[in-house]
Amino acid sequence: MSRIFDTLKNFELIFMKLLFKKIVFLFFLFFFTNLFADEASDKVATYPGDFETSTFEDEVYDPLEPINRAIFSFNNAIDKAVPVLSMSPQLSHSPA
């Protein structure tokens, strides 16, 4: 029984190492792909006519709209009640 447990434990370690290597590889692949794609996407010219929508697209049904509006109102009220931006110079360290 202990041989089976040791085999499973070794399998799990090997599997985790391979999974980690794949995740690291994919992270760097996406990271470096974005570095090279940024230049090409900055050169794309857009015009106001590109963003015209139909009335059907403007009236998309959002079943969570009441909840979204309530959360948005709550966030706005908190932003007005807690003056974080006016406190930020006091919270940040000034260079000596």
Q: Give the domain range for residue 45.
A: 2-84
* pLDDT tens-digit series, residues 17-42: 899 999 999 888 877 776 666 666 66
Tokens of 68: 């979204």
Q: Annotate 11-67 with DSSP letters as a single string.
A: HHHHHHHHHHHHHHHHHHHHHHHHHHHHHHHHT----GGGG---HHHHT---TTHHH
Residue 90 lies in a domain: no
Residue 16 lies in a domain: yes
Question: Model pTM?
Answer: 0.34
* pLDDT tens-digit series, residues 57-93: 667 778 888 899 999 999 888 888 876 655 555 555 5
Number of domains in the chain: 1
Residue 38 lies in a domain: yes
Residue 89 lies in a domain: no
Residue 39 lies in a domain: yes
Residue 95 lies in a domain: no
Q: In this predicted structure, what is the pLDDT of residue 40?
A: 65
Residue 57 lies in a domain: yes
